[in-house]
Amino acid sequence: MSSILHALRRLGTALSKLSLSRRLYLVLLVLVIVTLILVGRLILHGLANLGTLVFGPRLEPADMAGSHSLFYEFDPATRPDAVEMIPLNLPQTKFELTGPYGARDTMLITNHVCLNRHMGLFQLKHNSEMFDRATLPAVNVRASDAEFDWYYQGKAYTSEEFIERQHDFERDGYSTKMIVLRNTTLFAASPIYAGHFSHFLVNTALPLVEQQARQYGPSDPAEHRKYAESLGWLSERRDLILLGDLWSDDKLYVGRSDPLQAFKFGHIYRYALKDLPIGCTVCYPRVIFGLNNTCPYDGCTHVPDPAMIPYTSTRRMFRQHYMAAEEVAAVERWEAAGAREPLDSRPSVIVVQRRGTRALLNLGEIETTLQQLGLDYQVVELENYTFGEQVALFSHTRVLIAAHGNALGNLHWMPPNSLIVEAWQYDWESYWFGHILDVMRPERNITHHVIACKDFSCTRESERDPNYNSKDRAVAIDVKQLRSVLLENGFGHKGSE
């Protein structure tokens, strides 16, 4: 205390030695400093109201494991080490439309797109034409089927409009945190036919994996895996937003598992963006709209394109996700050897029986035929299998016998030189699986044999009404044909009878 008094006394003595004008000058200086401090605080406060930009850290794999807590991970309060404040500088945009197949098969790669629960997907400070129907790539941003063409209407907000909305959120008592993710790409895709396993797989899931491989890796598909391991997917974060014709969240689940888990996305947003806290805005440095390769498989051109054969790398990726490493290695050795014998004690002939519609009416006869040919088979109901279990099951399957339906989507896991026998219901035909197999033939050589039900004799009495949905009729398979196609393709022995 006495030392403070002493210092004040010395200050008083020093001031009394100054002239009046110098004393006034000093007082003015103090006033200017105080004013600057107050104004500075106001400016800082104003900036805070515009939203704090928070850059996320480079993520470690552990951060991504099954995490749906992105926003809290990046909360400055819980991750002070992760936070880097930067001046608010609204991003500029550039975008390009690419793709050899025209409007239905293009990708839009753009920068700085933000998500907000109530503002949707939007781009700051850009002309709104970017999200015009004519500009957006059709495939996987809007459905390829006009019936489901509820494409997502993205928006462009000017910075003033954005700030105005931020103020609205604040007035309603929500925190308006703005997060700009570093080293993160958002993939924006529409899960075409989310409720249809095989369409979802072929039109969305596989292209998504393939496109990521292209985006992150070299053009040679054989190199994708190495690339994914070496840099892309373990440390660089990819998020996925599913737009458009998503019927409901749980439709993406197959059995008891979500095939999207296999892709190691950091975060998967569903259409409703309902995981985002109100007021929170997340911005991505890079966004890729569309998947760029559904056409060769879809009802678009039906022209198989050899450039689209791929899916070797995706098949492996799914297997690696759902099967033990030793099992994947064993399956791959077995495939490479082109062995005709089953890999292990599990039957390599699978007959799929559906529990609801499209049952195989003469299952007993089918089983007898397989027994007569000395084939070890298994009848399965896929309702009893998770998606991952199906990947494993069909990785061991050389012969798949099923009525036309999503079970055949499992052809993706089957080894080369296999056989698929597809039963067509009365008055129904569909080349969907045939087209896929045509595209894959050079690489996979899977024989596709259709046994069509040609008259009422192979249907159920109660389903003969011409107005009955043909596709959903139960069907009896002509076992004579089944027997000869099996033998022709080297499965089973006549002598076994």
CB 242 within 8 A of CB 258: no
**Distance in angstroms (rounded) separating the CA atoms of residues 7 and 410:** 87
Site string for ligand NAG, 411-430 (x = CB under 6 A): ------x-------------
In the list 107, 205, 399, 414, the residue contacting ligand NAG (rule: CB under 6 A) is 107
Q: Does 236 bind ligand NAG (CB under 6 A)?
A: yes
**Distance in angstroms (rounded) separating the CA atoms of residues 279 and 173:** 9
Q: Does 31 bind ligand NAG (CB under 6 A)?
A: no
**Least distance between ligand NAG and beta carbon 55 (Å):** 7
In the list 67, 98, 248, 484, the residue contacting ligand NAG (rule: CB under 6 A) is 98
What is the gyration radius of the CA atoms in the chain, in angstroms? 31
**Distance in angstroms (rounded) separating the CA atoms of residues 179 and 342:** 53
CB 156 within 8 A of CB 122: yes
Cβ-Cβ contacts under 8 Å for 454 (sequence gap 6 or more): 426
Residue type at position 365: E
Structure tokens at 13: 């003595």
Subset of residues 282 to 321 that bind ligand NAG, contact rule: CB under 6 A: 292-293, 307
Q: Quick one: 99 or 120, whose CB is closer to ligand NAG?
A: 99
Q: Does 91 bind ligand NAG (CB under 6 A)?
A: no
Q: Quick one: 22 or 226, whose CB is closer to ligand NAG?
A: 226
Assign residue 271 a region: left if phi > 0, alpha if psi is -120 to 50, beta otherwise? alpha
Q: Does 401 bind ligand NAG (CB under 6 A)?
A: no
Stretch near ligand NAG under the rule CB under 6 A, chosen from 36-44, 61-69, 380-388, 421-429: 380-388
In the list 124, 186, 208, 380, the residue contacting ligand NAG (rule: CB under 6 A) is 380
**Distance in angstroms (rounded) separating the CA atoms of residues 244 and 450:** 34
- Longest CA span, the chain: 124
Stretch near ligand NAG under the rule CB under 6 A, chosen from 249-257, 378-386, 458-466, 478-486: 378-386
Beta-bridge mates of residue 447: 419
**Distance in angstroms (rounded) separating the CA atoms of residues 474 and 404:** 10
Site string for ligand NAG, 437-456 (x = CB under 6 A): --------x-x---------
Q: Quick one: 215 or 320, whose CB is closer to ligand NAG?
A: 215
Q: Does 89 bind ligand NAG (CB under 6 A)?
A: no
Binding site for ligand NAG (CB under 6 A): 98-100, 107, 182-183, 214, 236, 292-293, 307, 379-381, 384, 417, 445, 447, 489
